[in-house]
Each structure stands twice: as structure tokens, then as C-alpha cells.
Amino acid sequence: MPHQPQARGLLFRVSPFLFVLLWSSSFVAARVGLRHITPLLFVAARMAGCALVMVVLMLVLRQSWRPLRRGKWLHCGIAGALMNAIGLMAPHVGLLTTPSAQIALVQSLTPLLTAVLGVFLLKESLRPLQWAGLLLGVAGVGLVVGQAALTSPARFQGMLLALVGVGGIVSGTLYFGRFCRDVPLLPGATAQFISAALTSAAGAVLLETPHADWTAGAIEATAWNTVMVSLGGMGLYFLMLSKGTAARTSANFYLVPGTTALLAWAFTHEKLSTFALGGLIVASAGCWLVNAGGRRPA
């Protein structure tokens, strides 16, 4: 099948752009969904839908569960709980009081933390050009925030919750890179989403009073974030992580704040500030340097 390697290569090349677009859209969709659903229940419903789809795919495609033996199920479950449950639950609560662009901005700190910790924990090397790209990404983050980051205690609390989500994504990414990289995508993702669904459901029961008004907007927001973002976006993320380093993969988060600001401007008519536009350009340059700097071996 000569066309299959070409198709896979094309998918890998475009996956960073698709991932950024899908992940950025989740913030806009979540703002709609959270008008009608409590945040932890929203995440639990999203993860449960993902887990159901993955189990059905495993059965229909007759995929083997054997790759999850010898502790791999537990490892994938831990990675999934960290990335898809902790990484989403905290920032969704933050979205109740903090603009989506600022939540996305805090999450874009993921690349720097992942790269630095990856050097020590995964023995990944970074070239000077990649370090320059990481610093540019941080500068882009600062431009997007501008002077609006600490305008109120409520927004500050929301950004702290977003930082908790960053901790979940970073730790889950590093854990995946250490223990799960050799697990095939479908069974590995199935284990991760089942674990995330159980974790977020427990969070919804223990940490909030779950409530939902299943309006058309709520259903559409949940469906979009389930199918397009969690299944499509995270599938692309794991694909990139399995083929490259944690630093290069997570560097794509630098593009999310500016893209989120653009989507919010297009769909909710939020004003695109000069800081957001400048941050998008600088963060994009930083992301390009991280990826371009890793194409040749150190």
C-alpha cells in the first residue's frame, strides 16, 4: 500500500496546525457550554463520551487489548487522568470567572515546563535555537496578557486554576513519554479516556453540585469538545508525542492563546487587541524555532 506512508506523513505534517485550531476552539465552545452545565460535569460528560467512542472502536475494529498488559493499562490510565481530567477540570472552573484567552494564555506555559523537565526526566536534549524559541514563546504569552492579567481577584483565581491544569498536562505528557510511548494509539487512548472519565466523574460528585440544562447550545458544545477536541485534538497530540519529543510537541501550545483570541473575535465579536495580535506573531515564531531547531540531531 504505497499511499499509506505518504498519507501518514502528510497527517503528521499538518497535525500541529489542526491540533492548535481544535484545541483553541475548545475554549470558545466551553464558554457556551458552561452557561448551562456545571464545569466538572461538563468535563465528565465529555470524557465519558470519548471513552464510549473509543471502546466501540476497539470492538468494531477488533483491536487487541494485549498492548495494555504488564502494567501498561495503569500507566496509560495515570497519563490520561493527569492530561484529560486534571488538565481540563481546573481550567474549566477558571473559565467561570476568567476570559478564555487568559486561560489559554496560562496553559501555553506548558511548553517551557515540559521542555525543562523533559531534559532532566526524559533525557531529551534541546539545541540553543530551541531554547530561544521557548523564550520567544514566553514573550508572546506576556504580550497576549498585557496589563489585564491581574485586573481582579476572581480573574487571578481563575488563572491559578488554569496553572493547576498546566501541571496536569505537563506531568501527564512527561509520564506518557516515559511509560506509554510504545503503546499503540487506539488501545492507549482508550485506557486514558476511561481513566479520565472516572476521575472527572468523581470530581463532579465530590467537588460540585452537578447541574445541567441540556439546551441545543449545551449539546452542541459538549459534542464539539468531545468529538473534535478530545478525540480529534488529543489523538493528534498523542500522534505528535509518539513521533517526536515532549518539548517539540508541547511547543504547539504557544500558538493557542493568539488563535483563541482570533476565534473569539470571529465568533463572539470580542475585540482583538494589539497585545493579542503581537503575542500571536511572537509565539508563532517561538513555536517554529522549537520545531525547526529539533530537525537535526544535537
Q: Summarize pLDDT for 54-107 with one digit per residue, the tens.
A: 999 999 999 999 989 888 999 999 999 999 999 999 999 999 988 787 788 777
Name the residue type at position 94.
G
- At 277 the three-state DSSP class reads helix
* Phi, psi for 152 (deg, rounded to 5): -155, 155
Which residues share a beta bridge with 37?
212
Which residues share a beta bridge with 212?
37
Contacts 24+ apart (CB under 8 A), 147-153: 148/102, 149/102, 149/105
What is the model's pLDDT at position 242?
Answer: 67
In whole angstroms, give the CA distance from residue 93 to residue 91: 5
What crossing angle do the helices spanning 153-179 and 100-107 adopt, rounded to 10°? Answer: 40
Band of pLDDT at residue 14, cut at 50, 70 and 90: confident
User: Which residues are CB-contacts of 158 (< 8 A; sequence separation ≥ 6)?
Assistant: 93, 94, 95, 96, 97, 98, 102, 103
Which residues share a beta bridge with 74?
none
Residue whose entry in the numeric block shows the C-alpha cell 483553541: 24
In whole angstroms, give the CA distance from residue 255 to residue 240: 16
Mean pLDDT of 224-231: 90
Mean pLDDT of 193-220: 94
Picking from 192, 190, 193, 287, the residue whose alpha carbon sits closest to that of residue 247 is: 287
237 or 54, which is more confident?
Answer: 54
Mean pLDDT of 111-131: 73
CB 61 within 8 A of CB 186: yes
Q: Read off the pTM.
A: 0.79
With a pLDDT cut of 70, the percent of the chain lying above it is 78
Name the residue type at position 249.
T
pLDDT at 216 over 80: yes
Tell me the CB-side half-sphere exposure of residue 255, using CA atoms within 13 A.
21
What crossing angle do the helices spanning 256-268 and 3-33 adopt, rounded to 10°? Answer: 60
Mean pLDDT for the chain overall: 81
- At 211 the three-state DSSP class reads coil
What is the model's pLDDT at position 11?
Answer: 59
Band of pLDDT at residue 148, cut at 50, 70 and 90: low
Residue whose entry in the numeric block shows the C-alpha cell 515532549: 246
- At 37 the three-state DSSP class reads strand
Q: Summarize pLDDT for 240-254 with one digit per residue, the tens.
A: 766 665 666 666 777
Which sequence spans correspond to the domains of the chain? Answer: 12-292
